[in-house]
């Protein structure tokens, strides 16, 4: 998985203000002025950040004059923003419950489509301190004195963590519950936490293959029962898109179709996501 770049940070919108479809620049002031670009706004789960940067690049190449901007955050936060009226064209969630919330509110246009799956893994800092606890399993991470960090229960990775722990018969006692999986990863990578539960894709993005630390910031430890909590990622065109003219919903649908295409699926597979 490619790391985040300056381009990604410039695209990240945070709280979106203004129309989801904007014209870049003013009307042409001279005959030689370039055609204005159309901006497509995509709300994507935090675990999709790196992959969607690459997908956006490919989509823009196939659709000259289109610029994709995205708001990357926890799925529950994105759903709340959409319900609060934040303009967006496409929503890609890391789980079905948050997508169901958006659908129940009538904010989508068309049936959400599953496009990827993901499972959790345990991560520890690649650079461990001398007195760091020995962690080789979920049971070790849940032991007394271990600084374990997980996602908050309302976040997809948090629900998955609870399901994995329940299946293993392990009671988790995290020192903190984070708003997104990238926040969990950051605390582990920095050494602020001894261990964390993140998606396999996020561990890979930090250079943490199972049992590998070379060149990475975390070490990934495979969970024996990871398949007990498989998150399915759905994507949909949002109803707000239809309010901006007849051409825009079609453009948003083209982006969804691109994610579902062979090219889009190849990007996701290379980044560690499972098939939908």
Cα distances from 53 to residues 1, 5, 162, 203, in angstroms, run 11, 9, 30, 17
Task: Answer whether 232's CB lies under 8 Å from 99's CB.
Answer: no
Place of tokens 């002025």: 33
Task: Answer whether 93's CB lies under 8 Å from 82's CB.
Answer: no
Query: φ, ψ for residue 146 (rounded to 5)?
Result: -85, 130
Task: Tell whether residue 199 is among the known ligand binding residues.
Answer: yes
Task: Kindly provide the residue ranges of all beta strands, DSSP E only, lying in the chain, ordered along the sequence.
Answer: 38-45, 66-73, 90-92, 108-118, 120-125, 148-151, 176-178, 195-199, 218-221, 231-238
Q: Which residues does 236 contact at the CB level (< 8 Å), separation at least 6?
A: 90, 91, 99, 102, 103, 108, 109, 110, 111, 112, 113, 256
Q: If residue 188 lies in a helix (H) or strand (E), which one and from where to where? A: helix 181-189
Task: Tell whether residue 47 is among the known ligand binding residues.
Answer: yes
Alpha carbon distance 112, 116 (integer Å): 12
Best CA proximity match to 206, nearest among 13, 11, 49: 49
Alpha carbon distance 246, 253 (integer Å): 12
Q: What is the 3-state secondary structure of 192-233?
A: CCCEEEEEHHHHHHCCCCECCCCCCCEEEECCCCHHHCCEEE
Instruction: Specify binding-site residues.
Output: 47, 75, 181, 199
Could you list the residues known to form a binding site for molybdate, using ranges: 47, 75, 181, 199
């Amino acid at each position: 998985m490619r790391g985040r770049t300056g381009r990604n940070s410039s695209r990240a919108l945070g709280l979106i203000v203004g129309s989801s479809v904007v014209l870049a620049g003013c009307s042409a002031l001279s005959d030689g002025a370039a055609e204005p670009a159309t901006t497509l706004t995509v709300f994507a789960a935090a675990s999709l950040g790196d992959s969607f940067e690459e997908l956006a690049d490919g989509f823009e190449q196939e659709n000259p004059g289109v610029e994709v901007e995205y708001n990357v955050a926890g799925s529950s936060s994105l759903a709340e923003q959409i319900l609060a009226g934040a303009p967006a064209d496409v929503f890609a969630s890391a789980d079905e419950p948050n997508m169901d919330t958006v659908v129940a509110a009538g904010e989508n246009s068309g049936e959400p489509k599953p496009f990827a799956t993901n499972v959790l893994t345990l991560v520890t800092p690649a650079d461990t301190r001398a007195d760091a606890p020995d962690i080789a399993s979920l049971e070790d991470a849940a032991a007394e004195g271990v600084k374990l960090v997980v996602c908050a229960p309302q976040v997809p990775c948090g629900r998955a963590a609870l399901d994995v722990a329940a299946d293993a018969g392990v009671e988790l006692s995290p020192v903190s519950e984070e708003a997104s999986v990238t926040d969990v990863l950051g605390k582990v990578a920095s050494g602020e936490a001894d261990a964390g539960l993140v998606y396999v894709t996020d561990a890979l993005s930090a250079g943490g293959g199972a049992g590998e630390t070379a060149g990475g910031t975390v070490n990934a430890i495979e969970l024996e029962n990871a398949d007990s909590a498989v998150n399915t990622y759905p994507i949909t065109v949002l109803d707000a898109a239809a309010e901006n003219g007849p051409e825009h919903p079609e453009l948003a649908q083209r982006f969804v179709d691109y994610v579902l295409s062979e090219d889009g699926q190849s990007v996701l597979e290379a980044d560690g996501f499972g098939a939908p």
